[in-house]
Amino acid sequence: MSGKLYVARSSQVAARKLDDEMMIMSAPDSTLFMLNETATIVWETADGSTPLDEIVMAKICPQYDVAWSEALQDAEELVRQLAGHGVLLLSEEPLATASPPRSVQP
Amino acid sequence: MLELATPVNSSKVTIEIGGIAARVASADMAFLHMLEDRYAGFVSSRADADFDFHVDLGEAGVADPDAEVSVTQRSGCWTVERGDFRAEWEPATRHGRIRQSSNPYSIDALLRILHSLLLAKQGGFLLHAASAIRNGKAFLFAGASGAGKTTIARLAPGDVSLLTDEISYIRKSPNGYSACGTPFTGELQKLGDNISAPIAALYLLAKGPKNCVEPVPPAEAVRALLSNILFFAKDREMIGALLHSACEFVGRIPISRLTFVPDFRVWGVIE
């Protein structure tokens, strides 16, 4: 990747955390995604203004014993997969989300 | 003299499922009689109704229960379209219209969609599950086609009241969840008893070499539950409500996997 990659949560999904697993449900096709711990970190910090490499550096590397470059590569793959399903928005510029995703509280 | 059928009242039939009454009006008496037969046991004499639908009969297309259905909301009005019918209703006025040919399948689909939307707002849902009442408690048996819903229903002992072998009706109340009988049938082709009871347990069905009940972890239970909930609207608020409802349900109702041999002994492990 040459430039920064910004990630934001789509407004077309609903999310709820249950037993450390984040469940994301897509409104357009009712698909359910279950995110693991690292994917949940990316999801929770995807504010559209923090670049992915900074998220990985600040939130993932300190928590898991993993090299930054390796973690970033995995994170990029993850966000592109989720973006492909409409769960995340990706851009090389900061993103302003129109409305936050519906967060369902227990 | 014994009455064999409820008389049609002023070209309207009220179909009450789960305590929600939908009144269907039509100029075609034969169509209304067909509905009375189809929904026997769920035809209500209530003077008021929660929803009123006027049916315009015509050649609206071919009735195909498996066709893709479109459910959209615009300016407070819901529109439901499938190859064989088109319906619109306004929740604010509680009135709607449906255009369809003279068949029982179109309005059956509309009722499922209507109830799924109404239940979603109340924390309930329709579920691909057989359900039955025993000793005052309701038990749900969820699974896709072929999982054994109808088999479990067929194997029920004589003291069991069957609510449905296909689509279960789940209502939320301050005290918990209850299951209501439905006229939505599966292979059994038998309408459920029009009664309800508090839900004691939900079983995810699997056929196997022996009868066995195993608890299902919450996240897996939510995933399984959501995969069996009937839902049609591609609406973010409704999807959020659905996810919330599924998590709430899993938090309050024991969910287990029931692996079973298809014979009468399976009911011995259901409690």
d(CA B98, CA A74): 51
The distance of A41 to chain B (nearest Cα, Å) reads 18
What integer best gives the mean pLDDT of chain A? Answer: 86
Which residues of chain A are within 8 Å of residue B218 when distances are taken between CB atoms? 18-19
Q: Do A18 and B222 touch (CB under 8 A)?
A: yes
Which residues of chain A are within 8 Å of residue B238 when distances are taken between CB atoms? 27
Place of tokens 């990630």: A7
**What amino acid is encoded at A59 in this protein?**
K
Does residue A2 carry a pLDDT above 90? Answer: no
Q: Which residue of A has its CA nearest to B250?
A: A18
Q: Do A19 and B244 touch (CB under 8 A)?
A: no
Work out the average pLDDT over B222-239. 88
Q: Do B244 and A30 touch (CB under 8 A)?
A: no
Q: Which residues are CB-neighbours of B28 under 8 A, at least 6 positions away?
A: B55, B57, B102
Q: Per-residue confidence at B234, pLDDT binned at 50, 70, 90? A: confident
Question: What pLDDT was estimated at residue B5?
Answer: 47
What integer best gives the mean pLDDT of chain B? Answer: 90
Question: What pLDDT was estimated at residue B4?
Answer: 47
Beta-strand pair A47-51/A6-9: antiparallel
The domains located in chain B, with CATH, are 12-121 (no CATH), 125-269 (3.90.228.20)
Say whether pTM exceeds 0.90. Answer: no
Q: Do B231 and A14 touch (CB under 8 A)?
A: no
Burial of residue A27 (CB within 10 Å: 0-12, 13-18, 19+) is buried
Q: Per-residue confidence at A102, pLDDT binned at 50, 70, 90? A: low
Q: Model ipTM?
A: 0.70
Work out the average pLDDT over A5-9. 95
Does residue B151 carry a pLDDT above 80? Answer: yes
pLDDT tens digits, B163-220: 999 999 999 999 899 999 999 988 888 899 999 999 999 999 998 999 999 999 998 9
DSSP state of B219: H
Q: Per-residue confidence at B60, pLDDT binned at 50, 70, 90? A: low
d(CA A10, CA A31): 14
CA–CA distance from B246 to each of B21, B139, B224, B229, B230 (Å)? 25, 17, 10, 9, 12
CATH topology of domain A10-87: Arc Repressor Mutant, subunit A (1.10.10)
Q: Do B242 and A16 touch (CB under 8 A)?
A: no
Q: Do B239 and A23 touch (CB under 8 A)?
A: no
pLDDT tens digits, B17-53: 999 999 999 999 999 999 999 999 999 998 899 999 9
CA–CA distance from B260 to each of A77, B200, B218 (Å)? 41, 19, 22
Place of tokens 């939130």: A59
pLDDT tens digits, B208-230: 999 999 999 998 999 999 999 99
Q: Which residue of A has its CA nearest to B232?
A: A30
d(CA B12, CA B5): 15
Q: What percent of chain A has pLDDT over 70?
A: 89
